[in-house]
Amino acid sequence: MLIKSTHKNATKEHQITDEKIYYGRREMLKNMGFLGVGTLLGGGANAGVFDLFSRDEERPSVFQRDDLTYKPEGQALEELTPESKIISHNNFYEFGAQKNQPAELSQGFKVDPWKLAISGEVEKPLILDYDDLYSSFDLEERIYRLRCVEAWSMVVPWIGFSLADLVKKAKPTSKANYLAFETLYDPEQMIGQRNRRLGGGINYPYLEGLRIDEAMNPLALMSVGLYGKTLPPQNGAPIRLVVPWKYGFKSIKSVVGIKFVEKQPPTTWNILAANEYGFYANVNPKVDHPRWSQASERRITTGGIFDQNRIDTQPFNGYGEQVASLYSGMNLRKYY
């Protein structure tokens, strides 16, 4: 059985503008004999429908689940960002700092075999291989807003499992106050890691972190897919973090390590420019980036780059009801 979460501030599927297109794909799969209307394709990065006929016989082609749908309550009408935009407008400097480069320069990225190591202050260290990412936890689909620190945003139908479930499985000790995340370091495959100019001047591997209470919040997601497919490499295949109330750079991609630690871990953008990118990175329209306003954002929809689609930014990206209590008493201008 899959978990069907119900959070009031998330987007309803039946309110999505292009639901006919989205459900049309699901109906096609259903008519082809795959009983899970929300089928997740379980193979190489961004597997497609016709990959079902050329897969390893020892690995399931699809996860036939009847309840892969996240249906929360109460949210204003929002348009789902087209898949073509989500997979072509990316920040993933390991494959280039320009928005188009990750999609262009990540083709051929190998995600199988894969190892995700869970270590540190835990009673049960884990190593999850590629197949474990899809079979060890209940998968669910969640439609989340994604707000970039650069003041653009998307609405993305992610597929994944609750980060809290992984935390519980590892059984953290009393010393585990934070989770430290690490991206794959593979300069041979990731051109931005071996070319400093192309990779934005970052010292790799990419690092991120969360407080353990943030990691345990039901909204925190480990994503293995989007739009009913496995993640494409430019979006963080095969597994990435999604923290929808924080700016997008906190949602680290292609994760190979999660270490439970006692002290606040270093994070890549905080190391690079601490005055611009704080550890918490909660979406806050009242705290501007030093070089631009955060009061509004350009929602990426079907329009082109010059179609502004400006909307007001919401505190915690609209998820305040679920997460504001985590920061009770904190000065969110100081702890930005």
- pLDDT digits 0-9 by tens, 267-278: 999 999 999 999
| The pLDDT of residue 203 | 95
d(CA 184, CA 181): 10
Q: Is 233 helix (H, G, I), strand (E, B) or coil?
A: helix
Looking at residues 2-11, what average pLDDT do you find?
A: 44
236 and 103 in contact (C-beta within 8 Å)? no
* Local structure of 312: helix, strand or coil: strand
pLDDT in tens, 136-166: 999 999 999 999 999 999 999 999 999 999 9
> Is a pLDDT exceeding 80 seen at residue 222?
yes
Residue 259 pLDDT exceeds 80: yes
Backbone φ, ψ for residue 3 (5° rounding): -85, 130
Identify the pLDDT of residue 201: 93
- Buried-exposed string 102-121: b where 16+ CB fall within 10 A, e elsewhere: bbebbeebebeebebebebb
The alpha carbon of 116 is separated from its chain's Cα centroid by a whole number of angstroms, namely 16
Range list of β-strands (E), the chain: 40-41, 62-63, 115-120, 126-129, 140-147, 152-162, 178-183, 207-211, 221-226, 229-230, 240-242, 255-261, 296-299, 310-312
Catalogue all structural domains in the chain, each as residue range(s) with its CATH number: 13-327 (3.90.420.10)
Q: What is the Cα–Cα distance from 26 to 29, expressed in whole angstroms? A: 5
Q: Is the pLDDT of residue 207 over 90?
A: yes
CA 280: distance to chain centroid? 16
The predicted model gives 72-91 an average pLDDT of 80
Ramachandran sector of residue 40 (left: φ over 0; alpha: ψ -120 to 50; beta: rest): beta
Q: How far apart are CA 122 and CA 286, in angstroms?
A: 38
Q: Model confidence over 16-61: pLDDT tens digits?
A: 434 444 445 444 333 433 223 233 333 333 443 223 222 333 333 2
Given pLDDT bands bounded at 50, 70 and 90, which one contains residue 254?
very high
User: What number of CA atoms fall less than 13 Å from residue 157's CA on the CB side?
Assistant: 28
The answer to whether the beta carbons of residues 230 and 42 sit under 8 Å apart is yes
